[in-house]
């Protein structure tokens, strides 16, 4: 058995990567467990120094890493370069702030001493996706490692070279052998690892279906779990919004990474007073997007990552149009090599259509109309997902009220598209998962929050 990687830009075979044998996996896990026993004893400041070095390694290989991502999964090259830099910024942040997040917290006691210590759990299994093949791994692994854990990486099967590059990066930054380990394994072997008593916790970024499966196994074994799953992010455009700025944010939020993002702008809910003007401007802006060779610097949107993903998206659009939606732009698979899908705009949408009820992973903007603020909020929350959301209005107090108190999501932005930031916690509610990555909340997901009481 093996992983087979295909260049999504032209459909050509890149390389085959054989699965590791059960004995090889067992040996790798044993080595990681032994490495973690020593790693956990280092002061957090020493571990943070390795994280800072990782940031330097990322920057020194920025162009090469970006090209590998682009060739394996089709991300436009300039977005891939930006992803490498974001990984480095994440390392900068945790190398500076991480030790402080792990510092003991004293508790005032009437007699003796009491404090809270944050101690590592052990080995964390990181099951990672292909859409941000470096950033997703770095944002999950760096906090876990800095806290004193070891990481076992099970990466997506279409980005194995990215996985190998990450192993090399951690080694070059001075992390001990085995503390960050890549495993080329299939789904049954992954499930067995979740059950393995040497693995103390699991973090997964992926589909809701995958999250249910992993959470079921982890729960049966009483193991910590963080799930960052799918999304159907609503972007509410109110009648007093700056339409030019709102259109730009919605286009960027929808098309970043070719629309292959859990926090992409998937449902554009526009107040009917400005819906016509917004839609006209959106179509003009989307029509000017450059789709093509992802290695070309001028390209805005490359191919989708896999043929099955492109075909699934095309089917969702076809079924949505058949159910009564209007296609104002795109909507047809091109007769050309590669897994390209055109930039598309759909309107006249209503609940029950695939574009409303399912997650669309690709460059498809879906415009819905609302006759009031209250209706827009109801439509925004009428989804099983709850990852990200955005509100556009010139009244900042109004926007902040809606974002803070009304929208059911892990993140809600006012007058901007949703994006992760190392300084802020990231994660979802409802079927978008549970737990948080990034910031101090993320580093404390995989620690034993230990009470220590000392009597004089």
DSSP state string for 269-330? EEEHHHHHHHHHHHHHHHHT--BS-TTSTT-SB---S-HHHHHHHHHHHHHHHHTT-EEEE-
Question: Which of the residues 262, 356, 366, 412 is marked catalytic?
Answer: 262
Read off the pLDDT of residues 275-301 as tens digits, 9 standing for 90 and up. 999 999 999 999 999 999 999 999 999
**Separation between Cα atoms, residue 233 and residue 380, nearest integer Å:** 8
**How far is C-alpha 369 from the geometric centre of its chain's CA atoms?**
28
Domain layout of the chain by residue ranges: 2-229+430-454, 234-414
The reply to whether 262 belongs to the active site is yes
**Separation between Cα atoms, residue 75 and residue 9, nearest integer Å:** 10
DSSP state string for 137-162? HHHHHHHHHHTT-EEEEE--TT-HHH
CATH superfamily membership of 234-414: Aldehyde Dehydrogenase; Chain A, domain 2 (3.40.309.10)
Q: Which fold has domain 2-229+430-454?
A: Aldehyde Dehydrogenase; Chain A, domain 1 (3.40.605)
Question: Which of the residues 165, 228, 359, 431 is marked catalytic?
Answer: 228
> 2-229+430-454 and 234-414: same fold?
no
pTM of the full structure: 0.97
Read off the pLDDT of residues 324-343 as tens digits, 9 standing for 90 and up. 999 999 999 999 999 999 99
How does pLDDT run along the chain (456 residues), one tens digit per residue? 899 999 999 999 999 999 999 999 999 999 999 999 999 999 999 999 999 999 999 999 999 999 999 999 999 999 999 999 999 999 999 999 999 999 999 999 999 999 999 999 999 999 999 999 999 999 999 999 999 999 999 999 999 999 999 999 999 999 999 999 999 999 999 999 999 999 999 999 999 999 999 999 999 999 999 999 999 999 999 999 999 999 999 999 999 999 999 999 999 999 999 999 999 999 999 999 999 999 999 999 999 999 999 999 999 999 999 999 999 999 999 999 999 999 999 999 999 999 999 999 999 999 999 999 999 999 999 999 999 999 999 999 999 999 999 999 999 999 999 999 999 999 999 999 999 999 999 999 999 999 999 998
Other Cβ atoms closer than 10 A to 152: 27
What would the two tokens of residue 22 be?
A: 């059960």
Give the angle subtended at the CA of 46 by the CAs of 44 and 52, to the nearest 5°.
Answer: 100
The reply to whether 162 belongs to the active site is no
């Amino acid at each position: 058995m093996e992983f087979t990687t295909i260049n999504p830009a032209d459909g050509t075979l890149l390389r085959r990567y054989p699965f590791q044998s059960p004995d090889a996996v067992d040996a790798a896990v044993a080595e990681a467990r032994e490495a973690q026993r020593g790693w956990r004893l280092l002061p957090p400041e020493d571990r943070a120094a390795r994280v800072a070095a990782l940031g330097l390694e990322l920057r020194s290989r920025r162009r090469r890493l970006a090209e590998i991502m682009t060739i394996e999964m089709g991300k436009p090259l300039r977005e891939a370069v930006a992803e490498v830099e974001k990984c480095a910024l994440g390392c900068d942040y945790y190398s500076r702030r991480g030790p402080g997040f792990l510092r003991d917290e004293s508790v005032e006691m009437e007699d003796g001493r009491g404090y809270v210590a944050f101690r590592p759990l052990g080995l964390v299994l990181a099951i990672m996706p292909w859409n941000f093949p470096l950033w997703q791994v770095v944002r999950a692994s760096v906090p876990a490692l800095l806290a004193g854990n070891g990481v076992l990486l099970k990466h997506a099967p279409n980005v194995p070279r990215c996985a190998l590059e990450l192993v090399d990066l951690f080694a070059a930054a001075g992390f001990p052998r085995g503390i960050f380990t890549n495993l080329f394994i299939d789904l049954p072997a992954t499930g067995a690892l979740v059950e393995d008593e040497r693995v103390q916790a699991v973090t997964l970024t992926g589909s809701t279906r995958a999250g249910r499966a992993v959470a079921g196994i982890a729960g049966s074994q009483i193991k910590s779990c963080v799930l960052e799953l799918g999304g159907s992010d609503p972007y509410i455009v109110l009648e007093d919004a700056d339409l030019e700025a709102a259109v730009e944010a919605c286009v960027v939020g929808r098309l970043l990474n070719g629309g292959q993002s859990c926090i992409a702008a998937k449902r554009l809910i526009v107040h009917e007073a400005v819906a016509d003007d917004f839609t006209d401007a959106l179509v003009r802006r989307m029509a000017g997007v450059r789709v093509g060779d992802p290695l070309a610097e001028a390209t805005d949107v490359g191919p989708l990552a896999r043929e099955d993903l492109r075909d699934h998206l095309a089917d969702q659009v076809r079924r949505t149009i058949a159910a009564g939606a209007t296609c104002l732009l795109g909507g047809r698979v091109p007769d050309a090599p590669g897994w390209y899908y055109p930039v598309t705009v759909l309107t006249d949408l209503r609940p029950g259509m695939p574009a409303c009820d399912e997650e669309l992973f690709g460059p498809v903007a879906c415009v819905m109309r609302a006759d009031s603020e209250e209706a827009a909020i109801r439509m925004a929350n009428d989804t099983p997902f709850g990852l990200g959301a955005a509100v556009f209005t010139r009244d900042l107090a109004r926007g902040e009220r809606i974002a803070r108190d009304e929208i059911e999501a892990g993140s809600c932005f006012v007058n901007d598209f949703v994006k992760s930031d190392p300084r802020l916690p990231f994660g979802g509610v409802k079927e978008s998962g549970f737990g948080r990555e990034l910031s101090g909340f993320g580093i404390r997901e995989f620690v034993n929050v230990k009470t220590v009481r000392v009597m004089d």
